[in-house]
Amino acid sequence: MTDWDDGRTPPPTEQPPTVGRLVEQLSERATRLVRAEIALAKAELTTKAKQSGIGLGLIGFALVVVLYAVGVLIWAGVLGLATVWPLWLSALVVGVFLLLVAGLAAWIAISQLKRAAQRPETIDRVKEDVETIKKGMHR
């Protein structure tokens, strides 16, 4: 008698597992699989969190260096103008220029925020559609 697909006969001492035993094995293996997947997910998240922390730290460091570099460049501009004007006047001109640039950036930012804060037209159109449907249902 051949019970296996490849034509072999099962050993006579093996008893086929019962349905209850199969369900028990399935439950055990499913539990082990879920626990292993959770452990793997935790390990992956820990690795990604460490990488993100290192990346964010390096970005912070780079921003501090850029801040100092901008300060040095501004001072270089002041000293460059000081070859033509007195030092106080060149510092004043650079300071006023920086305030104008900051003001322009703030004005652009505020206009963008106002545009973003406006109510989307889609909401009004959806309300109109709902009202039209309601009126059509009452007729």
pLDDT tens readout for residues 34-67: 999 999 999 999 999 999 999 999 999 999 999 9
Query: What's the domain count of the chain?
Result: 1
Buried b or exposed e, range 5-40, using 16+ CB within 10 angstroms: eeeeeeeeeeeeeeeeeeeeeeeeeeeeeeeeeeee
pLDDT of the residue at 17:
84
Does residue 102 sit within a domain?
Answer: yes
Rounded to two decimals, what is the model's pTM?
0.55
Confidence of residue 16 (pLDDT cuts 50, 70, 90): confident
Q: Is residue 96 part of a domain?
A: yes
pLDDT score at 10 = 63
In a domain, 67, yes or no: no
Return mean pLDDT, the chain: 89
User: Is position 112 within any domain?
Assistant: yes
**CB proximity list for 25: less than 8 A, separation 6 or greater:** 17
CA distance 47 to 19: 42
pLDDT exceeding 90 applies to what percent of the chain?
64
Distance CA 112, CA 106 (A): 10
For 65-81, write each residue's pLDDT tens digit. 999 999 999 999 999 99
116 part of a folded domain: yes
- The per-residue pLDDT for 75 is 97
Asked if residue 62 belongs to a domain, the reply is: no
In a domain, residue 76? The reply is no
Residue-number span of the structural domain to which 88 is assigned: 82-139
Residue 4 lies in a domain: no
